[in-house]
Amino acid sequence: MTKDLEFYRNLPKKMCCECGEHFEEQAESYLHECERCFGHNHE
Ligand SMILES: [Zn+2]
């Protein structure tokens, strides 16, 4: 599965698992959701 690892490593942005939008990865974040979806899920 090294191809998958290389694929993600080359991506400059992460993809939200909720809406599929690409978003900037926060330095101290392990989120798999963009800020918008994260807010919806935790309000
Ligand atoms: Zn999202």
3-state per-residue secondary structure call for the chain: CHHHHHHHHHCCCEECCCCCCEECCCCCCCCCCCHHHHHHHHC
Residue 41 is predicted with a pLDDT of 67
| CA of 41 relative to ligand 1 center, distance in Å | 10
pTM score: 0.49
Instruction: List C-alpha distances in Å: 37 to 2, 13, 31, 41.
Output: 29, 16, 10, 6
CB-based contact 19:37 (threshold 8 Å): yes
Q: Taking the domains of the chain in order of start, what are their residue ranges? A: 2-42
Q: Which two tokens stand for residue 15?
A: 């993809």
Q: What is the pLDDT of residue 19?
A: 93
Res 1 pLDDT > 60: no
Centroid of ligand 1 to alpha carbon of 28 (angstroms): 18
Report the separation in Å between the CA atom of 24 and the middle of ligand 1, taken as the mean of its atom positions.
11
What are 20-38's pLDDT values in tens digits?
998 877 665 667 888 888 8
Q: How do residues 2-14 score in pLDDT, each as one tens digit?
A: 677 776 666 567 8
pLDDT number for residue 35? 84
